[in-house]
Chains A and B, each alone.
Chain A
């Protein structure tokens, strides 16, 4: 799960990591109350599950009711990189002396957690040259290691102590919540010498959700994504008009790449899982039927042991039940494909032997 800033900060607070005073809301009525409680001036920050919102104008200063009435609705209705605003965070401005960087992240290749710290913060860490990196096994950070990291990024005395405490708390959060990434960027040193988390990003391991009921409140899934999950599918929604369906994440990604290469705009990445049956394909079409912007469906299945006739049956049922009336372009690898083609002869489903031909067909249809 990719937590939004305000959710990450709730976790920070729970683990005793300092953050500026802030309140989150999802509508302007609540926002007005929050504004009164917090008091001007403050910043309005859009909450989106994607980086780069500052540059996109998603963080605005606000110092009066008039400004608030103008900016709050603007920010609530904005989209950044295709992501709609999920919530708004009002936050008191901090008196910043210096910005640092700190994160604990799962180094996948080394199969261990890694501390990354830097005396430069507030920018993307990849663009920072001076990084301190420490491997810490399953994520536990002892005081000595934390102290060494603090010293390496130039912190001493009270600031070193505060940093050690903050890093150890971040480590506890990472382990207990099974995070793949817990990042504080920027970690600010305020004019009065206090260390504070100005922004936060936490990604947890979706596969451990079953033992983290307490994190379920942070789940920001669309209705369609929830339905897909119930069916055992994985779905990513996008803004295009071609629904891309397949079995196996790699194959669907590959199909998605080719659609985009050929000038098509995918509306979905829909992986129905390793196998493919009449039921799973019918369920996938049911999900797609709820997306009004879709004007063409592309299906790429590698069956191996699947009979293509059982999949063709799903298309026929979908047309018979008036579930869909848009054309389907399908490439089904598996046995009995001649029969499947015969079955689909008088429907709006076209079967192809090569995925390239199916993609050309669906892109032409969708771009009509």
Chain B
């Protein structure tokens, strides 16, 4: 499997600092893309190029070159990371452009991407040995080093806890609580709220589990699908021993209703909170009743 840490933080230099990996922003001239490109730059992300068809040759903020295609941007910069802000109906085209051009980590921000388009992009990513995070994800952040996403900077701090979350705002809320409780984050990955994810819970787990700096993990799930159940079984099968705490949103949601996220829907027992919570229990993962309880349970696990 492609190593996400290697892509995001690369080699350490003589002073022990990770190199700043170059990042491309697809859709950098749009309202949303440009606002978040600025916020990522503020955070210290090394944005080296933008892509907007029809605007090649221009510059973003008077310094970052804009290209017609990802191919041109990659040829000029050698970047392996791209973040996509195009409207949902153009996502598949943008993803193909990126994956065909050698992008190894594609962060797919758009919400409302049709499932078939996401499936097609994921098939291509598999062939190219690339990672797609999302669609409908807040992105990925290695606090203190690189932010490839739309998350606010304030909830996050450097540390040793990995947070995997289907939801964006709950990721911020829970990371903020963890930070306040003294648990900084080693990496946080937004899985996304869609039915089909480029990086599933189990993939994200496998990506982060062997990092020597990692001390604990927090998994923020929600109703819909069975990715939490599959992750729990995988944790049992692999005998992973570091502390994990879970949270599941949607315990009281009515069945057969989409609760905001395209993927947040319970059909019969498939996707129900009870099913997820009981599998977490089997894997010895305590599940917080409310977001504020996650840090408390984690402290308990770390001390036991």
Most A CB atoms within 10 A — which of B196, B268, B289? B196
Further contacts, 18 of them, CB under 8 A, given A126-B270, A180-B115: A51-B255, A124-B268, A180-B195, A205-B115, A207-B112, A207-B194, A234-B259, A234-B260, A236-B254, A236-B258, A250-B167, A250-B171, A250-B260, A253-B249, A254-B170, A257-B251, A269-B253, A305-B154
Q: Which of B259, B270, B290 contacts A258 (CB 8 A)?
A: B290
**Is A54 part of the binding interface, using a Cβ–Cβ cutoff of 8 Å?**
no
Cβ of A260 and Cβ of B252 under 8 Å apart? yes
Cβ of A178 and Cβ of B150 under 8 Å apart? no
Can you show 13 pairs from A to B with CB atoms below 8 A apart? A106-B195, A124-B268, A178-B114, A181-B267, A248-B168, A248-B170, A250-B165, A250-B171, A253-B253, A257-B290, A269-B253, A274-B168, A305-B152
User: Quick one: given A249-B259, A250-B168, are A238 and B252 in contact (CB under 8 Å)?
Assistant: no
Q: Which of A125, A126, A236, A274 contacts B259 (CB 8 A)?
A: A236
Cβ of A250 and Cβ of B193 under 8 Å apart? yes
- Expressed in whole angstroms, the minimum distance between the Cβ of B230 and any Cβ of chain A is 5
The complex places the Cα of A269 from the Cα of B249 at a distance, in Å, of: 13
Cβ of A126 and Cβ of B269 under 8 Å apart? yes
The complex places the Cα of A109 from the Cα of B89 at a distance, in Å, of: 23
- Expressed in whole angstroms, the minimum distance between the Cβ of B251 and any Cβ of chain A is 5
Within 274-302 of B, Cβ neighbours of A (below 8 Å) are at 289-292
In the bound complex, residues from chain A placing their C-beta under 8 Å from that of B11 are none
Seen from chain B, the residues whose Cβ lies within 8 Å of a Cβ on chain A are 39, 88-89, 112-116, 119-120, 122, 150-152, 154-155, 165-173, 176, 193-196, 200, 202, 220, 222-227, 230, 247, 249-264, 267-270, 289-292
Cβ of A236 and Cβ of B169 under 8 Å apart? no
Cβ of B196 and Cβ of A49 under 8 Å apart? no
Seen from chain A, the residues whose Cβ lies within 8 Å of a Cβ on chain B are 2, 49-51, 81-82, 106, 108-109, 111-112, 124-126, 138, 178, 180-181, 205-208, 210-211, 234, 236, 238, 246-254, 256-261, 269, 271, 274, 302-305, 333, 354-356
The complex places the Cα of A256 from the Cα of B254 at a distance, in Å, of: 11
Cβ of B113 and Cβ of A109 under 8 Å apart? no
In the bound complex, residues from chain A placing their C-beta under 8 Å from that of B290 are 254, 257-258, 355-356
User: Quick one: given A257-B251, A269-B259, are A249 and B119 in contact (CB under 8 Å)?
Assistant: no
In the bound complex, residues from chain B placing their C-beta under 8 Å from that of A355 are 290, 292
Cβ of B167 and Cβ of A304 under 8 Å apart? no
The complex places the Cα of A81 from the Cα of B270 at a distance, in Å, of: 18
Cβ of B169 and Cβ of A274 under 8 Å apart? yes
The complex places the Cα of A250 from the Cα of B220 at a distance, in Å, of: 9
User: Quick one: given A51-B256, A109-B226, A249-B193, are A302 and B264 in contact (CB under 8 Å)?
Assistant: no
Tell me the dominant secondary structure on chain B's binding face.
loop
**Closest partner residue, chain B, to A303 (CB atom):** B152
In the bound complex, residues from chain B placing their C-beta under 8 Å from that of A50 are 255-256
The complex places the Cα of A257 from the Cα of B155 at a distance, in Å, of: 23
Most B CB atoms within 10 A — which of A109, A210, A259, A274? A109
- Expressed in whole angstroms, the minimum distance between the Cβ of A269 and any Cβ of chain B is 6
User: Quick one: given A206-B258, A207-B114, are A261 and B252 in contact (CB under 8 Å)?
Assistant: yes
Cβ of B195 and Cβ of A253 under 8 Å apart? no
The complex places the Cα of A271 from the Cα of B168 at a distance, in Å, of: 12
Cβ of A253 and Cβ of B227 under 8 Å apart? no
Q: Which of A178, A253, A261, A303 contacts B116 (CB 8 A)?
A: A178
User: Quick one: given A178-B115, A207-B88, A248-B167, are A271 and B172 in contact (CB under 8 Å)?
Assistant: no
**Closest partner residue, chain A, to B166 (CB atom):** A250
Give the top 6 A-B pairs by smallest Cβ distance, nearest first: A250-B167, A249-B260, A304-B152, A248-B169, A250-B170, A260-B252
Cβ of A257 and Cβ of B173 under 8 Å apart? no
User: Quick one: given A51-B268, A208-B115, A304-B155, are A250 and B253 in contact (CB under 8 Å)?
Assistant: no
- Expressed in whole angstroms, the minimum distance between the Cβ of A97 and any Cβ of chain B is 27
Cβ of B250 and Cβ of A126 under 8 Å apart? no
